[in-house]
Chain A
Amino acid sequence: MAEFEPVLTANIHKPDSHTLRVYEQGGGYQAIRKVLGGMSPTDVVELVKASNLRGRGGAGFPCGMKWSFLPKDHPGPIYMCVNADESEPATFNNRILMEQDPHQVIEGIIIGCFATKASTAYIYIRYEYPTAFRRLQAAIDECYAAGLLGKNIQGSQFSLDIYLHRGAAAYICGEETGLIESLEGKRAWPRIKPPFPAIEGAFRKPTVVNNIETMACVPHIVNRGADWFKSMGVPSTGPRDAGSYGPKLYCISGHVEKPGCYEMPMGVTTRELVERYGGGVWKGRKGKASIPGGLSMGIMTEKEWDVPLDFAGPGKVGCLGLGTAAVTIMDETTSMIDFLHNSCRFYAHESCGQCTPCREGTSWAERIVHRIKAGKGRLKDLDILLDIASSIGIIPGTTICGLADGAAWPIKNAIAKFRGEFEDDIKRTNPTGWMVEEAVEALELVGLGTGH
């Protein structure tokens, strides 16, 4: 394979990379001129379909196919919602794109709206990204002044407005229908699907919801073609695998010497990431485990670090998927109980409360792991945790959205892959197998009792 040439991050190290001037000097806004100069919306959809670009937000759904689900010849309005609510623990690739190269993102959004005939795009951006918010707003203002947004863009028949909409620190707003509800001014409770947003989304109109990095890929596909995009990554292995093509921003954080965000072709391994880019496991220690793509994807052991991080790879070792491709490394000194406690606490805090299995299950799991961490664990707690984990989520069919699946996976993986460590710790800290009277045991299990 030829030497890999980064494209998504080609601009980010230049001075003033966030300005229109620098973006255009680097070839920016050529793709939108090409599109407006002779492509039809269908041409763009077909091009993106041919590239096999899959969504970078976590689910990996083919982007062109998502666009093609919009009703044909709809009188409008059609909306685009761009998901910049990047809140998956360990994930920051979209922050870097928005802060360092906002015009690349905006060019992708303009092309995406042209392809889907959307007349308004809302970028839903998490509150915790103030710099990204200001840079994007400045870039949007520059675009209006330059005739790249607004009425009759570059003299064409195509008009588009882009508005930023700030969130208020709620993880669930990253779920596409939670995002839509939040945009509409309501609590961010995910919707039952169908109807899918493409049919009935924001303000009950057809809506596409796309991730920031996905949009940033689009101008490059227009400029360089679908074959260029497909020249990178891991090819499809069969009719049920859409393949993992193109460049990807991998985040690496946790116990490495050099945490950061690195662009490389889809399919790098955790070990390569750690050793070639992360500067190795920190403090000269050995690795113990990792998160493959945001906390919700579960965990890999160090022995599994040679699995390629493409859309199919993490699933082969029991993880939920590639997710956001944000890798977190844990060194040999890390306690899996501490890890699981941190994970369960996050989901208990962020469950939106709509579905009882998730609202209650995530809190029960947090309280049980908290009790284990406090030295009052019992061996059978591990089976109770697994029982909760297998009962909450879309996969068992008990919740509306996937938040609970993301809560369940770290529990399932941690206990399956490190059960001995949990058992040893419980036997050491609670050797008598501390029990309370049966009558209050149920309350104790969930941390509501008075026995300790």
Chain B
Amino acid sequence: MTSTATKSSVLTAEMRAKIEALFPRYPTKQAVTLPALHIVNEALRCVPMDAIPEIAAMLELSPAQVYDTLSFYGFFKHEPGGQVRAWVCRSISCALRGGEEVLDSLAHKLCVKPGETTADGKITLEFGECLGLCDFAPAMLANEKVYKNMSVEQVDEVVALLKSQADQGN
């Protein structure tokens, strides 16, 4: 056994460079907290607990400060989500046009509850609060793709599209 084994870093050199590049934009390093969390999340589809002290060290903060901000937003998870993260809007304009039924139906087809990832790791289903897509209600945002005017009848087709989105990595 060796006692010199060091814990490997979660943040890659590329992530660190992206984070450092943002420092000149703000008068404090703390302001880079959310952007740094986004940089890690985009690369890893989560922000592992071990990344928090590393981010904190870069921003000259206590890990508790970074965790405090991270945990305020339900957005950042500690375990990787699916290749596609799909938010189905459940707020009023979508709900009036069947959004909640679409969400239920997708959950049923994918065998997950909102917030969970499919067994194959491809799709994380989420409910969204008003996505600002009310002109296309009921709507869903999957990574950066907008699904418009959805209906329960189209759910099989939507599942196929989500899977192909995951396979194509977009």
Q: Is B57 an interface residue (CB 8 A)?
A: no
Q: Which of A58-66, A128-136, A215-223 contacts B (4 or more CB under 8 A)?
A: A128-136
Cβ of A186: which chain B residues have Cβ within 8 Å of it? 30, 33, 65, 68-69
Q: Which of B11-19, B117-125, B126-134, B158-166 contacts A (4 or more CB under 8 A)?
A: B126-134
Cβ of A128: which chain B residues have Cβ within 8 Å of it? 87, 128, 131-132, 141
Q: Is A251 an interface residue (CB 8 A)?
A: yes
> Cβ of B72 and Cβ of A170 under 8 Å apart?
yes
**Per-residue CB proximity of B44-61 to A under 8 Å, as 1/0?**
000000000000000101
Q: Which residue of B lies closest to A189 (CB)?
A: B72
Q: Which residue of A lies closest to B134 (CB)?
A: A253
Given A128-B87, A186-B30, A343-B92, does the pair A168, B129 have CB atoms closer than 8 Å? no
Cβ of A339: which chain B residues have Cβ within 8 Å of it? 92
Cβ of B61: which chain A residues have Cβ within 8 Å of it? 185
> Cβ of A89 and Cβ of B93 under 8 Å apart?
yes
Q: List the interface of chain B (C-beta within 8 A of A).
A: 25-28, 30-35, 37-38, 59, 61, 65, 68-69, 72-76, 87, 90-93, 95-97, 128-137, 141, 144, 146
Cβ of B95: which chain A residues have Cβ within 8 Å of it? 338, 342
Looking at A161, A261, A342, A343, the one whose CB has the most chain B CB atoms below 10 A away is A342
Given A170-B73, A170-B75, 20 other A-B contacts at CB below 8 A?
Answer: A89-B129, A92-B133, A92-B134, A128-B132, A129-B132, A130-B144, A131-B144, A166-B35, A168-B38, A168-B75, A184-B31, A187-B68, A187-B69, A255-B96, A255-B97, A259-B136, A260-B135, A334-B96, A339-B92, A349-B129
> Cβ of A92 and Cβ of B132 under 8 Å apart?
yes
- Provide the bound-state CA to CA distance between A343 and B96, in Å: 12
Q: Determine which of B69, B96, B132 lies in contact with A185 in the assembled complex, contact meaning CB atoms within 8 Å.
A: B69
> Cβ of A77 and Cβ of B132 under 8 Å apart?
no
> Cβ of A346 and Cβ of B91 under 8 Å apart?
yes
Given A88-B130, A128-B87, A342-B95, does the pair A168, B34 have CB atoms closer than 8 Å? yes
- Provide the bound-state CA to CA distance between A161 and B26, in Å: 11
Give the shortest distance, in Å, between A333 (CB) and chain B (any CB): 10
Looking at A77, A94, A130, the one whose CB has the most chain B CB atoms below 10 A away is A130
- Provide the bound-state CA to CA distance between A86 and B61, in Å: 30
Q: Which residue of A lies closest to B74 (CB)?
A: A169
> Cβ of B92 and Cβ of A165 under 8 Å apart?
no
Cβ of A95: which chain B residues have Cβ within 8 Å of it? 132-133
Q: Determine which of B25, B35, B59, B92 lies in contact with A295 in the assembled complex, contact meaning CB atoms within 8 Å.
A: B92
Q: List the interface of chain A (C-beta within 8 A of B).
A: 77, 86-92, 94-95, 126-131, 161, 163, 165-171, 182-188, 203, 251, 253-255, 259-261, 291, 295, 326, 328, 330, 334, 338-339, 342-343, 346, 349-350, 352
> Cβ of B134 and Cβ of A165 under 8 Å apart?
no
- Provide the bound-state CA to CA distance between A170 and B25, in Å: 23
> Cβ of A259 and Cβ of B135 under 8 Å apart?
yes
Cβ of A87: which chain B residues have Cβ within 8 Å of it? 129-130, 132
Give the shortest distance, in Å, between A251 (CB) and chain B (any CB): 7
Given A166-B38, A168-B75, A187-B68, does the pair A253, B30 have CB atoms closer than 8 Å? no
Cβ of B92: which chain A residues have Cβ within 8 Å of it? 89-90, 254, 291, 295, 328, 339, 342-343, 346
- Show 20 residue pairs from A and B whose CB-CB distance is below 8 angstroms, ordered by the A residue: A87-B129, A89-B91, A91-B134, A95-B132, A127-B75, A131-B146, A166-B34, A168-B76, A170-B75, A171-B129, A185-B32, A186-B33, A186-B69, A188-B72, A251-B134, A253-B134, A255-B97, A259-B136, A261-B135, A295-B130
Cβ of A170: which chain B residues have Cβ within 8 Å of it? 72-75
Give the shortest distance, in Å, between A83 (CB) and chain B (any CB): 13
> Cβ of A183 and Cβ of B31 under 8 Å apart?
yes
- Provide the bound-state CA to CA distance between A168 and B37, in Å: 10
> Cβ of A350 and Cβ of B129 under 8 Å apart?
yes
> Cβ of B72 and Cβ of A251 under 8 Å apart?
no
- Provide the bound-state CA to CA distance between A282 and B60, in Å: 56
Looking at A89, A291, A326, A349, the one whose CB has the most chain B CB atoms below 10 A away is A89
- Provide the bound-state CA to CA distance between A254 and B98, in Å: 10
Q: Which residue of A lies closest to B75 (CB)?
A: A168
Given A90-B92, A168-B73, A330-B96, does the pair A163, B25 have CB atoms closer than 8 Å? yes
> Cβ of B96 and Cβ of A254 under 8 Å apart?
yes
Give the shortest distance, in Å, between B50 (CB) and chain A (any CB): 20
> Cβ of B135 and Cβ of A251 under 8 Å apart?
yes
Cβ of A343: which chain B residues have Cβ within 8 Å of it? 92
> Cβ of A77 and Cβ of B27 under 8 Å apart?
yes
- Provide the bound-state CA to CA distance between A186 and B136, in Å: 33
Give the shortest distance, in Å, between B73 (CB) and chain A (any CB): 4
- Provide the bound-state CA to CA distance between A290 and B119, in Å: 41
Looking at B87, B90, B135, the one whose CB has the most chain A CB atoms below 10 A away is B135
Cβ of B30: which chain A residues have Cβ within 8 Å of it? 184-186
Cβ of A253: which chain B residues have Cβ within 8 Å of it? 93, 134-135, 137
- Provide the bound-state CA to CA distance between A95 and B135, in Å: 11
> Cβ of B137 and Cβ of A259 under 8 Å apart?
yes
Looking at A90, A182, A185, the one whose CB has the most chain B CB atoms below 10 A away is A185
What are the 9 closest A-B residue pairs judged by CB atoms, nearest first? A185-B33, A253-B134, A187-B72, A168-B73, A185-B30, A253-B93, A89-B130, A168-B75, A130-B144
Looking at B27, B35, B75, the one whose CB has the most chain A CB atoms below 10 A away is B27
> Cβ of A259 and Cβ of B144 under 8 Å apart?
no
> Cβ of A203 and Cβ of B28 under 8 Å apart?
yes
